[in-house]
Amino acid sequence: MFKKILIANRGEIALRIMRTCREMGIATVAVFSDVDRSALHVIHADEAVCLGPADPAESYLHIEKIIAAARSTGAEAVHPGYGFLAENAAFARRCAEDGLVFIGPPADVIQDLGDKTVARQIMIQGGVPVTPGMSQAEPDPAALAEAAGTIGYPVLIKAAAGGGGKGMRVVSAPEDLAEACESASREAAAAFGNGAIYLEKYLQKTRHVEVQILADQHGNVIHLLERECSIQRRHQKIIEETPSPALTPELREAMGQAAVAAARAAGYVNAGTVEFLLDPDDNFYFLEVNTRLQVEHPITEMITGIDLVRHQIEIAAGTPLSLAQKDIAGRGHAIECRIYAEDPEHNFFPSPGKIRFLQEPAGPGIRNDCGVYAGFEVPVEYDPILSKLVVHAETRELAISRMIRALQDYAILGVKTPIGFLIDVLGSEPFSAGDTFTDFIGTHFSDWKPQLPDLDLAAVAYIADELSAAEKSTIPAAATADTVTPWQTLGNWRQ
């Protein structure tokens, strides 16, 4: 087993990985940019290496700097978390070339599945159902228009490389196609360095259901049930739950087997997620494979009792899976809400700034994977996720009630968050009934505004905090220094 792992990420996911490493007796190395000197993942790591300026290209996306940090600290493996370089085949390949174990799938698998058109071809060969559409990227507007006519409107423009909603557009009429393709290509090029796009049939009133998989280096592949991820804004998830309220036992089994088939067809190793679209007639279609740990992995952990990060590390070390498919069973219901620094009143626009006050929810069945503290400055340069709030209960109804209560107890002042919005979504009749589809927010909450009493209360609390004589902070004053000191890592000292 590894003695030291470098975590090539930041925020709550870096902390999440560190916690499992500590349980396994593995030392951790954090990397950080100049604006993250006082970040929690830096404070909690055994060692920390500064990568340089805040610009991701000069820090968290700079492959050579991360490799150098691993070499200088004696790390044997690199865990990429999610985002940044997690699905970058060149990074995985560079780690291998330098004798570092990349905790994720092989570089060739990442490359194949990262290209959506190649991934579709692999799935077709593996017998996995795919959405009707093109099998390769196409730069020619005339060819795209011809393909759209064959597929039938509405069509979905997708980036061949990348995901997360970037480079995606829904087009309902031929006259809108050219401009939408140009716009999608520009966005994809900016996000992934690749502007290639292709077209799929846009399936209406679908659910987004994904299946967690684990595959070791010895040919063993299992699935760990499904997650429903249909509540999305800008094609990005914001609420996830498991089990899906839409799946029958028979459909769950069929989707699980399809996910395992997809993993085998791709030669997959380590943890991953096979994503499907589910239509109202219970037909499901392959969407993509996320070749990394998912943001929503905690809800799978909650219902199965399985530590996915531990299994990622063990698989990367060459250990055979200790689980068989017959060992996997879900118990109860789990829901995750993503807590971002963003403004739900203005299209969820990022809301960076200093966190003036933070009170986290607690109680039975509540888990909050949090990466910030009162006094922390949420930077503008990175994804604005603050935490993942997760609840587990015996039934879906009890889980919804517990999540609403947890959100009501969650206080974050100084930046805007979607907490009030999430409470209203969870408390709505359509969500309670399980009528969750990918257009849920646009259909039911497009004109959402917060309740005025909540705004008034928040304003009073904010003013009171501003007038307070002592600024609240959960870390020592030393954390504001230019360098990391032993006082910042006091909690990780070992005897």
Q: Read off the pLDDT of each residue in 174-194 and give the average, rounded to a whole number.
A: 93
Confidence band of 192 (pLDDT split at 50, 70, 90): confident
Confidence band of 466 (pLDDT split at 50, 70, 90): low
pLDDT reported for residue 477: 45
What domains are defined for the chain? 4-103 (3.40.50.20), 132-201 (3.30.1490.20), 207-452 (3.30.470.20)
Three-class SS of the chain: CCCEEEECCCHHHHHHHHHHHHHCCCEEEEEEEHHHCCCHHHHHCCEEEEEECCCHHHCCCCHHHHHHHHHHHCCCEEECCCCCCCCCHHHHHHHHHCCCEECCCCHHHHHHHHEHHHHHHHHHHCCCCECCECCCCCCCHHHHHHHHHHHCCCEEEEECECCCCCCCEEECCHHHHHHHHHHHHHHHHHHHCCCCEEEEECCCCCEEEEEEEEECCCCCEEEEEEEEEEEEECCEEEEEEECCCCCCHHHHHHHHHHHHHHHHHHCCCEEEEEEEEECCCCCEEEEEEECCCCCCHHHHHHHHCCCHHHHHHHHHCCCCCCCCHHHCCCCCEEEEEEEECEEHHHCCEECCEECCEEECCCCCCEEEEECCCCCCEECCCCCCEEEEEEEEECCHHHHHHHHHHHHHCCEEECCCCCHHHHHHHHCCHHHHCCCCCCCHHHHHCCCCCCCHHHHHHHHHHHHHHHHCCCCCCCCCHHHHCCCCCHHHHHHHCCC
Amino acid at 323: L
- Confidence check: pLDDT of 251 > 50: yes
- Confidence check: pLDDT of 482 > 90: no
pLDDT reported for residue 458: 59
Q: Which residue has the higher pLDDT, 468 or 166?
A: 166
- Confidence check: pLDDT of 124 > 60: yes
Confidence band of 488 (pLDDT split at 50, 70, 90): low
Confidence band of 106 (pLDDT split at 50, 70, 90): very high
Q: Which two tokens stand for residue 61?
A: 């996306």
In whole angstroms, what is the distance from residue 354 CA to residue 343 CA? 15
Tell which residue, 115, 86, 98, 94, has the closest CA to residue 17: 86
Chain segment 201-248, per-residue pLDDT in tens: 999 899 999 999 999 999 999 999 999 999 999 888 999 999 999 999
Confidence band of 494 (pLDDT split at 50, 70, 90): low
- Confidence check: pLDDT of 463 > 80: no
Share of the chain above pLDDT 70, in %: 91
- Confidence check: pLDDT of 480 > 60: no
pLDDT reported for residue 153: 96
pLDDT reported for residue 492: 58
Chain segment 23-39, per-residue pLDDT in tens: 999 999 999 999 999 99
Chain segment 35-71, per-residue pLDDT in tens: 999 999 999 999 999 999 999 999 999 999 999 999 9
- Contact yes or no for 398/42 (Cβ under 8 A): no
- Confidence check: pLDDT of 464 > 60: no
Residues labelled as active-site residues: 292
Q: Read off the pLDDT of each residue in 165-189 and give the average, rounded to a whole number.
A: 94
Report the DSSP pairing between strands 4-7 and 27-33: parallel
Bridge partners for 386 per DSSP: none
Chain segment 321-362, per-residue pLDDT in tens: 999 999 999 999 999 999 999 999 999 999 999 999 999 999
Q: Model pTM?
A: 0.88
- Across all residues in the chain, what is the average pLDDT? 92
